[in-house]
Structure 1
Amino acid sequence: MLDDHRYDELNDAKATMDHIYDHADPRAYFRELKSVGYQIPGAAKPVLQKLIELRQRKTGDTVHILDIGCSYGINAALLKHDLSIQDLYDRWAELGHAGATAEEIIEKDADFFAQLDQVEDIEVIGLDVAENAVAYGEQAGLLDRGLAMDLETKPLPQDVWPDLAPVDLVTSTGCVGYVTEKSFEELLPAVTKGARPWFANFVLRMFPFDAIAETLGKAGFVTEKLSQRLFVQRKFASRDEQEKVLEHLTEQGIDPSGKETQGYLLAELYLTRPRDEAAEVPIQRLLAA
């Protein structure tokens, strides 16, 4: 289990992109991330769609999703609409050259997403420390509710518990490492009050998941890793970043040969479900397709 200092060391190995995460609209975010081929939301989309389908089959009702590290509502945009990550790149690249203000971008995007066909029976709550990004996600109509808060340092407010009680699926696509077991400890009492959710976390290989798995395990959940499957997050921003990540992986006994050595940050899927459901259908069979 890593202490906070060790997590800081691992995060320091990655290129710093803090400057793009909390603008009033997503143009700078996508401009920067396009340069490094950021693609984890698109890579995760088919898996999350499958999990949503399975959850829908189980509940027979609207699937309520809590997306941790939601930023501008990117996962919500992909899951609610027939869009790819490239579609989003193209849209905000085009708007980025228009000289529009953030307010104009939000208005244009709200109209754009409202006119698209939307997948029925999905609601997404977004959780992120970036207040402006969360506000954009709500105003553009991507997030049904946005929670701008840092559960690593502050408790979950009691007044949001009713919003989280129906959650069927908790997701994250790359925030573990910044988000630790502390956030999950805060969320667990609320998301397990009225349901038994699943947790789907896409985690960079250099970040151990054991502390979060242990926290969820104490609440009666079992975590499985999808073996023989890796998901590209993005290209390394520099040779220096790659060398630091390779060093950390090697120190942890993780062989990067033929994987991160090829130039990409890679993530694994950890799926956490109630103990009885995990025993009934193991993850490899659940996601065999």
Structure 2
Amino acid sequence: MIETEGNRATRIVTIYDDIYNLPDARDYFRAMHHAGFRTAHHGAAAFVAARAELMRLRNLSSLGVLDFASGYGIAALLMRHQISLDAVLNHYRDPAVEGLTTPEMTAHDREWLRALRDEDNADSYAGLDIADQALAYGQRIGVFDAAFAEDLQADAPSEALTEWLSGCDLVVEIGSVAHMLSQALDRVLRGAAARKPWVITAPIRGNDTAAAMDVMAQHGLTVEALPIPPFRHRRFADDAEQARAIANAAARGHDPEGFETTGYFHAQLFLARPANELTDIADWKISPLAT
């Protein structure tokens, strides 16, 4: 979970740096529970709705879905399995998994998810992140069909990633850097240009989204805010972090009262898609929406 505070050109804060890239996901998801992480709960509901509309418009039976800045792959996990975020967090807090070795935990998670797989979802899911161990774990347990540990902010995509992107229809994001790493996003969209993928993203209020929004516009995508109120992302670590978040949100034109003032970062969902596919999103059934 990587977030920005202050000037994105000079200050990047990596949250949970010591647990973001471990051989299995237990410590990471326990920390997510402790921090009151909620973005994936709302994001996945919107991703599923966008997926359904994209399939309808393009008459597709399956999609290529890229989980951008994926880590262990909570977005992909929730999209392709019949399970809630709360159930995932509770799974990793179960005392029964405490003493398992990583190979035992891998086998345990693989069987757990196999029983929860949505049989009607034939999509191909890929994870993209610099966290190689997190990606490998997600692939071993069946969250990802492909995983790419690549830094697209610094380097061009590999041949393997370039080939995979040629079949990418949908890019989903719930936790990237400052915001969506505009160079990386540009390279993803260039690689997927033939498919004109939709992008759905959940930036934290106060993050600088301008560069990413410009990149999407340059690729012919129209960006809209989904008709969902801002929602809790995670609890602030301390008063100083809250003060910075309030100042950052206000600087971006957001009223922090009732949002950041309640003790949580808040995020909002945005959808980018080609102008000829701008169907009405007001009637989308995006649920659940409870906190």
What TM-score do the two structures reach when normalised by structure 1?
0.89
The alpha-carbon deviation at position 19 of structure 1 amounts to 1.0
SS at match of 2:93: helix
- After superposition, the C-alpha distances for 1:143-168 in whole angstroms (9 at most, x for unaligned) are 01111111111111233222111111
Q: In structure 2, what is the Cα distance between the partners aligned to 1:282 and 1:94?
A: 42
The one-letter amino acid of 1:23's match is L
The alpha-carbon deviation at position 284 of structure 1 amounts to 4.0
The one-letter amino acid of 1:83's match is I
Q: In structure 1, what is the Cα distance between the partners aligned to 2:227 and 2:111?
A: 41
Please show how residues 241-252 of structure 1 align to structure 2 within 5 Å.
241-252=241-252
Q: In structure 2, what is the Cα distance between the partners aligned to 1:250 and 1:230?
A: 14
**Partner residue in 1 for 2:191:** 190
CA separation of 1:149/1:251 partners in 2, compared to 1, >3 Å: closer, same or farther? same
**Partner residue in 2 for 1:40:** 39
Please show how residues 69-148 of structure 1 align to structure 2 within 5 Å.
69-94=69-94, 97-118=97-118, 119-148=120-149
**Partner residue in 2 for 1:234:** 234
Q: In structure 2, what is the Cα distance between the partners aligned to 1:5 and 1:91?
A: 35
| Higher helix proportion (structure 1 or 2) | 1
**Partner residue in 1 for 2:51:** 52
SS at match of 2:200: strand
Q: In structure 2, what is the Cα distance between the partners aligned to 1:124 and 1:142?
A: 7
- After superposition, the C-alpha distances for 1:159-181 in whole angstroms (9 at most, x for unaligned) are 32221111111000121426321
SS at match of 1:184: helix
What do you get for the CA RMSD once the two structures are aligned? 2.2
**Partner residue in 1 for 2:150:** 149
Percent identity of paired positions between Structure 1 and Structure 2: 26
Please show how residues 271-282 of structure 1 align to structure 2 within 5 Å.
271-278=271-278, 281-282=279-280
Check conservation: 1:25, 1:105, Cα contact below 8 A. yes
CA separation of 1:165/1:95 partners in 2, compared to 1, >3 Å: closer, same or farther? farther
The alpha-carbon deviation at position 29 of structure 1 amounts to 0.2
**Partner residue in 2 for 1:260:** 260
The alpha-carbon deviation at position 268 of structure 1 amounts to 1.1
Check conservation: 1:44, 1:231, Cα contact below 8 A. no
What TM-score do the two structures reach when normalised by structure 2?
0.89
Determine whether 1:219 maps to 2:219: yes
CA separation of 1:213/1:145 partners in 2, compared to 1, >3 Å: closer, same or farther? same
SS at match of 1:215: helix
The alpha-carbon deviation at position 95 of structure 1 amounts to 5.6
Check conservation: 1:236, 1:263, Cα contact below 8 A. yes
**Partner residue in 1 for 2:174:** 173
- After superposition, the C-alpha distances for 1:27-83 in whole angstroms (9 at most, x for unaligned) are 110111211111211121211111111122123221211110111121121111111
Check conservation: 2:228, 2:269, Cα contact below 8 A. no
- The alignment of Structure 1 onto Structure 2 pairs a total of residues equal to 281
